[in-house]
Structure 1
Amino acid sequence: MAVRDAGSLLVGLLVLFHTWGAWADVKVTMEDRVEAFRGDTALIGCMFTSSEGIGAMIMQWFYVTRGGEKQRIYYQDITTKIVDRGTPFTDRISVNGTGATADVALTISNVQLEDELEFICLIKSVTGGAGEGRTKLKVFETPNLPSIESVQTGISANEESLSKIGTCEVKNGFPKPNITWYRNRMPLHTVQDVVKIVPSITTESSGLFSVRSELRMKVMKEDKDDQFYCEVTYFVPGGTRMTETNRINITVYYPSTAVSIWVESPKGKIKEGDSIELHCHGNGNIPSSIISIKHTESDQTWESNVLVLNNVTRLNSGVYECTSTDTDTFEDISRNTSVFVNYLDPAVVMPKDAIVVAQGEELQATCNALSSLQLDTAWFKDGQEVSKGHSLIVQDVTFDTAGTYECVVTVPEIEGMETRGTVLVHVQGPPEIMEQDYTEMDLVFEKTVELSCHARGFPAPSITWITSDGKVLQTASEEETEDGVQSVVSIKVTSDITALCNASNEYGSDAVTFNIKAIKDETAKQPEKMKKEGSGVIIAVIIICILLLAILGSVLYFLYKKGKICGRSGKQDLTKEKSNKDNIVVEMKSDNTEEAVLLGVNGEKQPPNDQSSEYLDVQK
């Protein structure tokens, strides 16, 4: 009943206002554009004022079709709210506001590309006054990341026409993205006969845009190191954004104007046995060119820009020529370099192999080697350096001089470059049996002992073993040494034995006797050498004892002089005569003076006269 009364009142007021002819002045204010991402929600505001003040208003929303027609999508008055059916927005719009306030808004959910239209807000007053505002809805979609693809083949710098550099592509953006080409961070623009940029646009079934751009250029040699990339600019609500592709290079073919050749390894001087690596390169880049390396001395040629020669000799020395041939023009460019392989021939020792020198004479030998570099020579014997220089000279040779001498020839400038040679020196003379460790020994019955006899001399001595009763002993082993012969016999002790080692050659002889005493006691005496060592120990002990006695006598004398021991007091005088008769006199001589000091048992120094008389008494 109340609603019906309010409606009657509204109709009455409309008739009254119409009768009076007074229309309200309505003004509508809206933004020029509203922006939203595809799939998001768009909010289109509508603000209005009326000269009659804000009250019950009739509100309608429209959109303008692509054909230019207005299509209503919403109606609202004081009693009714209607969303028009059968429009693209029927299920996706809502309006907040009743028309009783000056601010209402149309909300569109899940915005699509087709929603990029013009929307109209129409406000009417109850007196018939009306006003409308318009807003364009802009829809955005961020494109995929851009891609760039370079041309897969090389490009000739001699090409007259523009050559394709690459293509850039960006897909599924809205509105249409823009592509800009860059070379070394500088933007490229179309320049006739120099640069040409060919864009193309594709509208996908989704309504999104894909943009492709192709770059063509007149390529020069200087472009061989250039970097190309694309910048993609696309629109978003409130502004623009930018992204870049990765960088690409192009292969530029251009002829060589010069070539170079060098030894890559080894660094420094080359020696025989090394591996040489030669490099030959031109400053051009063209597949039709042929690089070759030629050894001018042998006239041998290799079609390669890298040449490896293993285990080189001095024959590999010479001039190597690098040539670049352009098969299109048949033009040659060449350059050469010299290679020298250093050498060191085997050492030559004179005399060869062996030399015989008589005792007391002079040993002379030389060692030389042919080389391309300065040499150092040293002589070694038993691992010890004995001489420097290519000549070896030893005065007054002895059997100790005999042996193998090695000369080592080195090249100081190149590490590891050396050669060696040897010579065996024999010292000519009568045999000389080396000193034996022991020749006298005591051994238990049934024991077996090995006797060794080493005789030096040249020619190599002949060694025989015999016993004192003339029995020849069988040699257990015998070997030639550098300076003579080493002979060993094995003897089983069954009785006392005397064995003789006899060494002889054409210059004389030498012999040594071994005396073996057979004993029954298991605690056999040690060899004679040990006996001698034991006697020496005893003698050393006796000497030490004598020195200790001398020191003791000196101390007693010192104490006597200081009055620390009795012998000079009055009480001593009472027994002096008796003690003098019993004195045992020891004569001590100092190393520092010729004075002889005679000390009595009581330590008293005797006057010279008294000393003599008492000494006579003792003799008696």
Structure 2
Amino acid sequence: MQRGLAVYQFLAYALSGLETLTSKYGDPIEIPCNKGQFKESDVTLVKWKYDKDGNILVKQLDQNATISTDVNYKNRVSIKKDFSLIITQVTMADQRTFTCMVVWKEDILEYPVQLTIYKVPSRLQITNLTTAMAIGKPTMLAQCRTEGASPAANITWFKNKTPLMTDGAAVKINTNVDVDETRLSTTTSTLEYTAVKGDIDTKFTCQVQHIWSANMDSSPLVFTVNYATEKVNLQVVSQGPFKEGDNVTLKCTADGNPPPSSYSFYIDGEKKTVDSNIYTLTNVTRENTGDYKCSLVDNEDIAASVPITVEYLDVVLSTTGKIVKKLGESLEVTVDVKASGAAQTSWKKGNAKLNSLPKFDKLTYSDSGMYECVVSMAGLKETRTFELVVEGPPVIKNLIKERGEGMTKVLKCVAEGSPKPTVQWSVNGTSVILSSVLLLEYIYTFIYTISPVLYAMGFSFHENSKQMELNMTLYLITVVEDVTMDKQDQKDEYGDQTTLAVGIVVGLMLAVLAIGLAYWLYMKKSRQGSWKTGEKEDGSAEESKKLEESQSQKADV
């Protein structure tokens, strides 16, 4: 029964085909005998052999295994209880058929097993690498190599991640596989390529493919693509617009690779060859305006040009510096502008903008000031200035009496003149200190403050300048009158003292009348046009009339 089963199993094995095992190079391998289905007590003898005549070991019942003297296996094999064969550190020489022969009862059975060894390739190597390729010329770019593989590795070239195939024209790939004495393979692939201009910055890679390992890729290979110059370009490096005195730098570039190391520049029609692609024009003038050209040194037909304009702006103002004119005179101001383009002109007087060129048909004091002419164009600006001073005789514009703080009165004399008038005030023939305020550039207010004093006083002043001296007499001003009016305005505040104040005021008014009459009589005899208290002066008929009118008005009060 058991014998029939064994025969059946052998026949089934034979029909199923040869069993195959795969092992990695250098690893140990266990080769089973009939998949370990024999019992040790049922087997009389087991023998392992390889190929046809190679003996490895023999194991008899209840005895230790006997290992043959075969140099390939005597130190690398052993047998297990289930009759499996153990081989350590397998090599490519172990890639063969191993047979387990079993004496089972009275039958002899054999179980062959085919052992396959694989080995992953070493890391790829790039050799014979070139650096540049010329357009239209076949160039051997590089060689990709990997060693020690089983089975042999495959190599594929890529251009920008797209596989390359030999086309017999632009692409030629030559791949060789060499097997050494250890049965390991070395694969070498060489790429020959004919470049075009579009291959600038193209990335080539080599990839090693093996059935028992992941793909290995080389680093991207980028080659310089050399080609002849077909076009040059000339550009102005310096930032414009350019004005006289600037430096202008020109740069000539070519589309060839490598680019030319020298160029010819044409400056004012003169050819200048330099070992650079830069040429600088220094301290340019308006005469440097024109077209500039550069070309290849060995081929003047491959050239480029660029226009350069040197902007200029000339401004001549007919009036400069400080101009002194008389009141009422005329002044003509002209500005002459010569420029390389359209220029804009603006005027200012001080900080105020003027709408046009100033015209002075009849000068006034208000025309005095600092004038500024600004002419601008294309980044250029020229400024011209002049100072106008209008001088004239002093003129008294107004005499003003105002209420001051408390009981004081303020006398103001408004005078016009240039240069500034010199004004003197006097009280009863005595000069007093006064303050002045500048209203405009040519109008001044001279101020004197009168304190409340119970006596009448007169004032006069005169102005000194280059042109003339004039005197003018103020009308009699009585502080007493003003004090009286202040008292009347405040009668509600003082209550019971009102009656006493009125009496005092009436008495003072009578005193003023007496003084006014004496003054009138005195002015009758006076011959001069000004009056000072305590002095004898003759007054004009007009002044007398004004004084009479003034005193009459006060008497009516």
Are the counterparts in 2 of residues 319 and 339 from structure 1 also a CA contact under 8 Å?
A: yes
Match of residue 333 from structure 1: 302
Offset, 1:232: 1.3
Alpha-carbon separation, structure 2, partners of 1:280 and 1:25: 89
- Pick from 501, 505, 509 the counterpart of residue 466 of structure 2: 505
Distance verdict in 2 for CA 1:403–1:144, change over 3 Å: same
Structure 2 CA distance for aligned equivalents of residues 195 and 70 of structure 1: 47
Query: 1:256 — aligned with what?
Result: 229
- What are the Cα deviations for residues 551-609 of structure 1, in whole angstroms up to 9, with x where unaligned? xxxxxxxxxxxxxxxxxxxxxxxxxxxxxxxxxxxxxxxxxxxxxxxxxxxxxxxxxxx
TM-score w.r.t. length of structure 2? 0.63
Aligned to 2:65: 82
Distance 1:344 1:321, change over 3 A: same
Partner of 1:400: 366
Q: 2:460–2:472: 8 Å Cα contact kept in structure 1?
A: no
| Among candidates 330, 333, 358, match of residue 365 of structure 1 | 333
Query: For residues 404 and 242 of structure 1, what CA distance do their matches in structure 2 show?
Result: 87
Once the two structures are TM-superposed, the CA of residue 135 in structure 1 deviates from its matched residue by 0.7
1:72 maps onto 2:44 in alignment: no
**Which piece of structure 1 moves more, 367-376 or 142-151?**
142-151
Amino acid at match of 1:84: I
Indicate conservation of the 8 Å contact 1:325/1:332, yes or no: no
User: Aligned equivalents of 1:92 and 1:191: distance in 2?
Assistant: 53
1: CA distance, partners of 2:42 / 2:364: 143
Quick one: percent identity of the two aligned structures?
A: 22
State how far apart, in whole Å, the 2-side matches of 1:424 and 1:404 are: 4
| Secondary structure, aligned partner of 1:505 | coil
Secondary structure of residue in 2 paired with 1:374: coil
Q: Distance in 2 between matches of 1:201 and 1:361?
A: 114
Structure 2 unpaired stretches of 5+: 406-412, 435-439, 447-456, 475-481, 494-557
- Report the CA distance shift for 1:134/1:402 in structure 2 as closer, same or farther (over 3 A): same
Query: Which residue is equivalent to 2:82?
Result: 97
Match of 1:324 in 2: 296
Aligned to 1:140: 119
Residue 61 of structure 1, CA deviation: 2.6
Instruction: Please list the CA deviations of residues 234-290 of structure 1 after superposition, one character each: whole Å capped at 9, or x if unmatched.
Output: 231xxx6423223222223222223232335537x5555666453322332246663
Within 5 A, what are the aligned runs for 1:350-429? 350-360=318-328, 364-388=332-356, 391-393=357-359, 397-411=363-377, 414=378, 416-429=379-392
1:143 partner letter: S
Partner of 1:47: 34
1:72 Cα deviation (Å)? Answer: 0.7
Between the aligned partners of 1:510 and 1:187, the Cα distance in structure 2 is 115
Counterparts of 2:89 and 2:365, CA distance in 1: 116
Aligned partners of 2:152 and 2:177 also within 8 Å: no
Q: Deviations over 1:107-135 (max 9, x none)?
A: 54554555444433333333143324131
Distance in 2 between the 1:265 and 1:97 partners?
A: 92
SS at structure 2 position matched to 1:365: coil
Distance in 1 of aligned mates of 2:291 and 2:183: 72
Q: Distance in 1 between matches of 2:59 and 2:338?
A: 118
Q: Following TM superposition, by how much is the alpha carbon of 1:340 offset from its aligned partner in structure 2, in angstroms?
A: 1.7
Q: Residue type of the partner of 2:263?
A: I
Q: Distance in 1 between matches of 2:220 and 2:32?
A: 46
Structure 1 residues without counterparts, runs of 5 or longer: 1-12, 15-22, 99-104, 443-452, 476-481, 489-495, 514-527, 543-620
Paired with 2:302 and 2:154, the residues of 1 have a C-alpha distance of: 48
Residues 42, 59 of structure 1: CA spacing in aligned structure 2 closer, same or farther, 3 A cutoff?
Answer: same
- CA distance in structure 2 between the aligned counterparts of 1:311 and 1:454, rounded to whole angstroms: 59
Which one of 172, 189, 197 corresponds to residue 195 of structure 1? 172
Q: 1:182 aligns with which of 154, 158, 162?
A: 158
Q: Aligned residue for 1:349?
A: 317
Distance of aligned partners of 1:138 and 1:427 in 2 relative to their CA distance in 1, 3 Å threshold:
same
Aligned residues of 1:289 and 1:325 also touching (Cα < 8 A): no
Q: CA RMSD for the aligned pairs?
A: 5.6
Counterpart-to-counterpart distance in 2, 1:317 and 1:369: 19
Under a length normalisation based on structure 1, what TM-score does the superposition of the two structures give?
0.58
Mapped contact 1:297–1:318 kept (Cα < 8 A): no
Q: Is the 8 A contact 2:323 2:388 kept in 1?
A: yes
Q: What does the per-residue CA deviation read over 1:343-400, in whole Å, with 9 as the maximum and x for residues that have no partner?
A: 323x322223344444355554233432222222221122221224xx2235654323
